[in-house]
Chains A and B, each alone.
Chain A
Amino acid sequence: MDLRDTPEEAAFRQEVREFIGQNLPDGSARRGARRFEDADREWSRRLGAAGYAGLTWPKEYGGAGAPYSHQAIFLEELARAEAPSHLGVIGLGMAGPTIMAWGTPEQKERYLSKILMADEIWCQGFSEPDAGSDLAASRTRIEDKGDHFLVNGQKVWSSFAHIADFCILVGLGDPDAPRYKNLTYVIVDMHAPGVEVRPLVQITGQPEFNEIFFTDVKVPKENLLGQVGEGWQVAMTTLLHERGTLGFALAATLDVAVRKLLALAKERNVTDPILRDRVAREWVELQALKYTNYRSLTTLTKTGIPGPEGSASKLVWSENNQRLTKLALEILGSHAHLSDGGGYADGYWQDQQLRSRGNTIEAGTSEILRNIVAERVLGLPRSR
């Protein structure tokens, strides 16, 4: 056991820190709500060009083939600098790994490198109004028309759809097939005729995600991932990556939040012992999440499989973030109700607190995640 960086890791950390110092666009740090600006695309390109976008991607797909520890260090350093993450998070974390696992050589050649360079942005078309956690209930029709697929239906909660070039779409391929064998998974060109994106305004007032409407959208046959009817298995690859690689990114964003919370508590000169107790608890919870990720990472590095203790990272992070942001509002006191923060941080905390309510819903609700931990980690009998 040695919790320090190895000399090689320390050198990489130094290299990343210098890169961020030299390349981070002005004003991108300390921004409140997530926005998708040109500066972010330029920053993403620089990350791609420097080889930081696909650190753990295999070299054959344009990645750096670096160990997972580098990914962790990179994310920690981004957090330390409060730098925005790569715009192509859906491509990097979900579409890319799914294409690597299921894609044809042509698909890999066509899509992967453009994800790294942020030349093409991806979104995810999984959830529907009547198919949220229950993905197998999808009704969006992906009809096999012989020389193409015809897509009709609606998807929701799709981040980045308004700037996306492609969508990983799961839908009903064969309505007569049994559940879990009825789905098909395709890549859809978001610029194709019949694709309409409508922003969905969240409780923060920001339209961070979207609805996507598909009306007689023609999708070429070569855009199929896996086989017709194999969509469920392909989607599980996507979700595994969504949940599996997320831990470090989440701990890094929580690290930023805790730093800001400590700064706020100092600025407001918090002397109330109960508030101080709660501030300290958030710091402790962050260390617990961070070191649990390290444990899981060590297991991943040594065995190729992440340790079971890491499976709850997202569950823990979301609840921590909700508690922490509410605590920040309490520290702000009467200013908590002013949408611009009344002179404190431009309404950052007000925005973050509302945004945090989505944390226990997006990327697997906490209820679904508890089911997964209960069944797959703890070996309890299935609930369904």
Chain B
Amino acid sequence: MDFSFSPEQEDLRREARAFLEANPSPSMEQLTELGWVGILRSGDFSFLDAAVIFEELGRVLYDGPYVLNEVAAQPGDDVWSIEIDGFVPHLEKVTRVLTADMQGTGAAGETVATVDESLGLGRLSANGTEPAEGTWEDVRRRLLAALALEAVGIGSRATEMALAYAGGREQFGRKIGSYQAIAHSLVDAYVAVELSRSLAYWAAWSVAEQDEQVDLAVAAAKSQAAEAAVLACEKSIQAHGGIGFTWEHPLHRYYKRALWLEGALGYGREHRAQIADSLLS
């Protein structure tokens, strides 16, 4: 039993973190130069390598189609998005869209206004389709794991912001992080995110290994990680006080992404219903 990333994967994480801190919104061309595009199709990398990148992209609130393009894992030079719950993220930034019936379609349609303004969500208009490669079962597993990993990145960042703030901000002559009401609330955020991180890594490993428990793992990870990210953002906003509630502070963007992740491919209860069906049958 070894529940850690390899030294090469840790190197990749360091490289990704440094790059994304300087370039939080990289173009597909930049990502291609880094060798990250087509990572799952190359045969040289596993889903665990992709998992490292997905989590790091979550930390910087990456706002492009890269994750969905990798999860779709289609051949050719098109940039793909995936229709999720009737909407297509980043519709205007992609050339093809994968639908649940495993058809590829041209990326035509209208973009809608969303609470998380970085989603670029669109509705597909009727379009010519042609069969895509692979099965929806596999795409859906990869997608749930990727959403979980992105949520872990969001939850971690939101918690870190709150810890930094609580360690610096003073009221009544003391750092507010020394008050147990603040500290214990942030411990709960940290613990929830760490627990869900374990589930997300388990899910990523299960996808990489096509483990027999993969469906339970991705359902558990996605539901728990998205809920933990929402919790961490809410506790972080609270710990920040008024500033955390303002448009200028980045927290609300993390929060809105977490809320999107919570609902994408079904809220937690839908996944837990599936888990219950499996466990109680």
CB 8 Å contact bits of B160-177 with A (1 = contact, 0 = none): 000100110000001101
A277 and B273 in contact, given A283-B279, A287-B220, A291-B202 (Cβ under 8 angstroms): yes
In chain A between 355 and 384, which residues have their CB closer than 8 angstroms to a CB of chain B? 367, 370-371, 373-375, 377-383
* Min CB–CB distance B202 → chain A (angstroms): 5
Give the contacting residue for A2; candidates B2, B187, B191; CB below 8 A. B2
Instruction: Give the A-B pair count, Cβ closer than 8 A.
Output: 149
Cβ contact within 8 Å between B166 and A287: no
* Min CB–CB distance B84 → chain A (angstroms): 22
Residues of B within 8 A of A270 (CB): 280
* Min CB–CB distance B69 → chain A (angstroms): 24
Stretch at the interface among A53-61, A205-213, A309-317: A309-317
How many residues belonging to A are interface residues under a CB distance threshold of 8 Å? 50
How many residues belonging to B are interface residues under a CB distance threshold of 8 Å? 44
A287 and B276 in contact, given A379-B163, A380-B177, A383-B180 (Cβ under 8 angstroms): no
Cβ contact within 8 Å between A280 and B273: yes
Cβ contact within 8 Å between A367 and B184: yes
CB 8 Å contact bits of B211-239 with A (1 = contact, 0 = none): 10000010010011000000000000000
Closest to A375 in B: B183
CB 8 Å contact bits of A277-299 with B (1 = contact, 0 = none): 10111011101110110110111
Cβ contact within 8 Å between A277 and B1: no
Residues of B within 8 A of A294 (CB): 1, 3, 198
* Min CB–CB distance B248 → chain A (angstroms): 25
A277 and B183 in contact, given A4-B1, A298-B1 (Cβ under 8 angstroms): no
Cβ contact within 8 Å between B191 and A1: no
Q: List 17 A-B contacts (CB under 8 A).
A: A3-B2, A3-B202, A4-B1, A279-B279, A280-B272, A287-B217, A292-B197, A295-B201, A298-B4, A309-B197, A312-B187, A316-B195, A367-B184, A373-B191, A374-B183, A378-B183, A381-B174
Write the residues of chain B forming the contact surface with A, with a CB cutoff of 8 angstroms.
Answer: 1-6, 48, 163, 166-167, 174-175, 177-180, 183-184, 186-188, 190-191, 194-199, 201-202, 205, 211, 217, 220, 223-224, 269, 272-273, 275-276, 279-280
